[in-house]
Copies of this chain bind each other. A is one copy, B any other.
Amino acid sequence: MSYERNGCPIRFGLGILGDKWSLLIIRDLMFKGRRYYGEFLSAGEGISTNILADRLARLEDADIIHKTPDPAHGKKIVYCLTEKGLDLMPIMFSIMDWAEKYDDQTEVPREFIKELRNQPKSLRRKILASLK
Contacts and interface: CB of A to CB of B under 8 A. Distances in A.
Copies of this chain, how many?
2
22 contacts: A6-B107, A7-B108, A9-B95, A9-B96, A9-B98, A10-B27, A10-B92, A10-B95, A10-B96, A10-B99, A11-B27, A13-B95, A14-B20, A17-B95, A18-B18, A18-B19, A18-B20, A19-B20, A84-B102, A87-B102, A91-B91, A91-B98
Given A11-B24, A17-B95, 13 more contacts: A5-B103, A6-B107, A7-B105, A7-B107, A8-B107, A9-B99, A12-B99, A12-B103, A12-B106, A17-B17, A18-B18, A84-B102, A87-B101
Given A5-B105, A18-B19, A20-B19, A45 B11 contact: yes
Contact of A23 (B14, B90, B99, B101): B14
